[in-house]
Amino acid sequence: MAFDEIAQNDNGLGFNVEICHTYIDALNTIEAGTKVNLAILDFRLGSESEFTGLDFARHLKVAVRNAKIIFLTSIGDKYLHYTIFREINPEGFIIKSELGFPEIVESICKVMAGDTYYSRSVQDFLRKEMAVPKEIEDIDRRLLFLLSRGAGTRELSEELKMSTSGIEWRKRRLARLFGLDGGQTHPLIETARNKGLL
C-alpha cells in the first residue's frame, strides 16, 4: 500500500514489489537474479525459521551491493540494535510501535532519495551510543547482554569462549569504566541499561 501511495503521488514512478515470507524464499529471489533496490526486513522471519532478517541482510549486503535496507521490527533489544548497525548500517530502522502509515511512506521516500530514516527510539539509541566509552569492546557488550539475560558462569564461558577468571576480569574492567566498585552483576547491568547499552 505504501508503494502504491508513493507511485500515485509521483507520476512515472513505479515499483515491482516481491514479498518473501521465509529466508529461503528471499535467497531464491536474489539467486534468480531479481534486481533489489530496497529491502524492508523484519528481524523475525517466522517462528519456524532458524534464520533472521539480520542473516538475510548479511547475505544481501554481499550479493547486491547497492541495495538499501530498512529494518522494520518490534524488537527493542539494544544489543541487537548495536549488532545491526555494526554489521549492516541500514539506511532505515523503524520500531513498529512508533509509526503509522504516513511514516512508512516517508521512510521509503527518504531512503530511496539517499537519506536515512530512523524512528524516535532508534535515534535515541544512536545518540546514547555516541557517549559510550570507546574502551567498551564487542565482547564487553556481549557479556553485558548475557548477564542481563541471567546467564550463569558456565553459559558465559561457553558463549564467550573465555575462562571464569577472564570473565571476572572483564566484569571488573567494566566496573572501573562505569565508575563502580567491584564487578557485581546487578550494578553493572543497571549502569549498562542507564547508558543505553541494554
Decide yes or no: CATH 3.40.605.10 for domain 2-129.
Answer: no
For the chain, the distance separating the N- and C-terminal CA atoms, rounded to the nearest angstrom, is 34
- How do the domains of the chain map onto residue ranges? 2-129, 138-194
Q: Is 53 helix (H, G, I), strand (E, B) or coil?
A: helix
Residues 6+ apart with CB under 8 A from 73: 41, 42, 43, 44, 53, 94, 95, 96
Cβ–Cβ under 8 Å, residues 164 and 152: no
- pLDDT tens-digit readout, 133-150: 888 999 999 999 999 889
- pLDDT tens-digit readout, 13-68: 678 899 998 889 999 999 998 889 999 999 887 767 789 999 999 999 999 989 99
Q: Is 51 helix (H, G, I), strand (E, B) or coil?
A: coil
Check residue 11 and give its pLDDT: 60
What does the pLDDT average to over 126-134?
A: 86
